[in-house]
Chain A
Amino acid sequence: MNNNQANSKSPSQLFLKGVWDAAPLIIGGIPFGIIFGTLSLNAGLDIWQTVGLSSIVFAGSAQFVAIGMLAAGTSLGFIVAATLIVNLRHLIYAASMLPYVKHLPQRWRLPLGFLLIDEVYAATYPHHINNLKDKNNHWHYLGVGLAFYISWNIATLVGIFFGQAIPGIDTWGLDFAMSATFIGMVVPHLVNRPMIVAVLTSGLLAVLTFHWPHKIGLVLSSLTGMAIGYYLEQRMQGKK
């Protein structure tokens, strides 16, 4: 029996495995998408603009930040800046996926880049590092990404239409799904002291600076947490 042959999965198998691996995070994403569709209309956007945000921008937390700022009457420049800051973390995802996409042609890298959100990274990165020998792992990435993209957009549509049909849907607390998903994604990272201190600092500062304008508090909290984590890690490595 040829082991290599047996271990190497076909593109369609890997695509379906990607869809399967995305399922838990999609369960958390659906209520979040529904509440986004509802709140976006409440914030004054029309149906097409709401669809546009989910389908062209495709960035859950940045979409929430943007409609919140729009509702508060914030000017365009600040909202774009906040989008940059809130999504900057995707750079690190791109950096860690780099070794696994660099051999692919641009027609693959373009859509894979577009689909690189928190949940997609969280679901496909472990698959990549655990199946280094498989040559078709980009199909897994695509499966995760498309599954999440399609469900995010369907959830947004559901929010747009049911949000109007069911009064009070915005008081159900569907937005808790975002917090539950983020907690599920953050906790596995808490494996050493620098990371724990970085995350605690970031969370605490985010509460203290919550009322600062233009999401400056979010930026400052994240950057301070990162700086402290980096400093503590350097110091730990220095002692060894």
Chain B
Amino acid sequence: MKLVVKPERCTGCTGCALACSLAKIGMFSYDAARIRVERNEEHADFRPRVCIQCDEPSCIAACPSGALSKDLRLGIIVVEIESCTFCRKCEDACPYGGISFNDEDRGPLICDLCGGEPACVDACRFPQAISIVEGVQP
């Protein structure tokens, strides 16, 4: 299972980020969301930034403390928060801009697919800028 992002379909509504933060911390906060939307309003250029569970995660390779690993069953990146040194090298390494840091959470914010039913996807049913595909090999 993985997220598929089609930025050209994004409407810039940020409903995904609001749904994500509600799912993760029970509050609405763009900073706490694991998906962010870069919005250039003048040119209506909107780009969701989120982990897409890629096959060769450069974040894992970039992590000097071994805090990141891949869950082979779900395909998600798992963070071992005790090992994270907060160096943010994973954030720089991700070519999709899928990792962000929030000072309060003290660790990388990476999509965990909400255990299989991502909250963001239901907020994006018409444009389908974010959707989920099943059965992808880990």
User: Is B one of A's binding partners?
Assistant: no
**Residues of chain B at the chain A interface (Cβ within 8 Å):** none
**Residues of chain A at the chain B interface (Cβ within 8 Å):** none
